[in-house]
Chains A and B, each alone.
Chain A
Amino acid sequence: MMMREEELKHYLVLANAGDETAYRMFFNALLPALRILATAAMSRTSLPAADAEDIVQETLVALHQKRHTFDPAYPVGPWVRGIVRHKLLDALRRRRVVHVPIEDFDDLLPISPSETRDDMAEVIKLAEGLPVRQRDAVLAVVQGFSGRAAAARASMTEGAFRVALHRGISRLARMVEG
């Protein structure tokens, strides 16, 4: 969930210079956090969990279309967060969510300025510290499953899955902050 500012910036600068591999690395570094963010947003606004992956894809396309607005003179974290938040709010608005608790989403895409934490591996490692059901729920989402498929993967009913995921994410957020 945490990723390094320099690393991400490095990928994006190379990507904007035409490096396909770096560009894929950039997206893949962001993907787990985007999925957790979108899934959390869906569960908090009681929208179908299956929409989460759509929102992730919309956000990836937006990052792609606006990649020229990234200026390497500035940090990449606020830039990514600005776009992700914009697309998320946009997606929720289009799904007629009137009250959008923005502040809830603000910290869900942490990009640390200097700490040497790794993205995917770090989420998985952190998730290992969660109670079993919460861990299974979080990992299912990180792997890109949503809705019934994610619940099935974690061997839970959808209701139980939602509760476990919500608790897992809250606990992860506290672990990351602490």
Chain B
Amino acid sequence: MTRDTEDLIHQLARQGVSSRAETPPGLSYTVMLGVLPAIAIFLIFFGFRPDFMQSLANPYFVLRGMFLAALAAVCLTLIPPVGRPGAVIPWHRLLWAPSILVLGLVAERFGWDPAMNTVSAPAWVCITGIASLAAFPILALLLAVRRQAATQPELAGAISGLTGGAIGATLYALWCAETSPGYVALWYGLALAICAAAGALAGRHLLRW
């Protein structure tokens, strides 16, 4: 049995020379791969709001977009450590995203008047809309993490799901008229939770090694 292991080491070392360690494509490539189909889905089925330019005058509309984009950006920075064995995952970065909301509350105190919107679509549209826009980003991220080495497959899947969900929600928010914080917290939050759960489930199978 000693012989076996020595042979194995020789064999692996030889393989290491003939086929170099593959360098997986970078994160920006992965994001492109997932975001481009999502943008296509967005343009075909949703599109920018007809009153998009006026909506920019609504602080809640702007704030919601900023919050979701910030969440997506912060989550993306967690993807590399999640796939690197022994890495410490900087969870505290997730706290940066809600800080945008605090900024909004402060701004509101200083006279920003939130324009109230009428409900434009039932809540299930919000959930399915975000999920459909998140599907390709989540898939692309899962496939990218799969080429890394996640030692906690479920957790890595959940992070991938949350990241893809935040990307999908950022796009969806360009169309959705419902900007009241309560609505966003409840339905966007639920949609993100579903994305994270789906990612965790997929991760259990896809990210094993």
Contact = CB atoms under 8 A, between A and B. Distances in A.
A146 B2 CA distance: 9
Interface string A133-150: 000000000011110010
Interface string A3-21: 0000000000001101111
Contacts, number: 98
A27 B8 CA distance: 10
A132 interface: no
Interface residues of A, number: 41
Nearest to B9: A27
Contact of A20 (B13, B24, B87): B13
B93 to A, nearest CB: 17
A15 B16 contact: yes
Interface of B: 1-2, 4-5, 8-10, 12-17, 20-24, 83-87, 148-149, 151, 209
A60 B209 contact: no
Contacts of B87: 74, 78, 82
Contacts of B24: 68
Given A23-B16, A83-B151, A69 B83 contact: yes
Given A57-B5, A69-B83, 17 more contacts: A19-B17, A20-B14, A20-B17, A24-B10, A31-B9, A66-B148, A66-B149, A67-B16, A68-B23, A69-B148, A74-B86, A79-B84, A82-B149, A82-B151, A144-B2, A145-B1, A146-B1
6 contacts: A27-B13, A53-B5, A68-B22, A68-B23, A79-B85, A149-B1
A167 interface: no
Nearest to B151: A86
A91 interface: no
B75 to A, nearest CB: 20
A8 B2 CA distance: 22
A171 interface: no
Nearest to A89: B151
B155 to A, nearest CB: 13
Contacts of B10: 24
Contacts of A50: 1
Contacts of B14: 20
Interface string A35-74: 0000000000000001001001100111011111101001
Contacts of B149: 66, 69, 82-83, 86
Contact of B12 (A60, A75, A80, A145): A60
A85 B151 contact: yes
Contacts of B1: 50, 53, 144-146, 149
